[in-house]
Amino acid sequence: MGTREERTWGRIQGGLLRGIVIGAIAGAVIGVVLGAIVFQGFGAIVGAALAGIVGLGGLGAFWGVLSGLESPDPGREPSEVDRPLNVSELISEEHDARGTR
């Protein structure tokens, strides 16, 4: 299964790759559409598409890394041990300092 660091690094890398791919595809589509509307020459349309790929690809990479840092799904959280320990010295009951009336 791997250590916590390996699992975390895998989540970050996966999020980075997904973010770049999704951002680049969306950037290319948006760049072509906006370039076709605003510009007339083929070179300008390709330039707008490249700008969209770079811009949204970078933004997607940023969001992808952040998504890799989110907590895993419930029940899949990392822990130091397989089963949490019940240490009675560290657990105490809370009491109302004012007392009961």
Q: Decide: 53 and 24 in contact? Cβ < 8 Å.
A: yes
Q: How far is CA 26 from CA 8, 22, 59, 62, in A?
A: 27, 6, 11, 15
Each of the 101 residues of the chain gets a pLDDT tens digit; together they read: 567 778 778 888 888 999 999 999 999 999 999 999 998 899 999 999 999 999 999 999 999 988 887 776 666 665 655 555 556 666 666 777 776 55
Question: Looking at this protein, which amino acid is placed at residue 41?
Answer: G
Q: Where are the beta strands (DSSP E) in the chain?
A: none
Measured CA to CA, the distance from residue 46 to residue 26 in angstroms comes to 14
Measured CA to CA, the distance from residue 60 to residue 65 in angstroms comes to 9
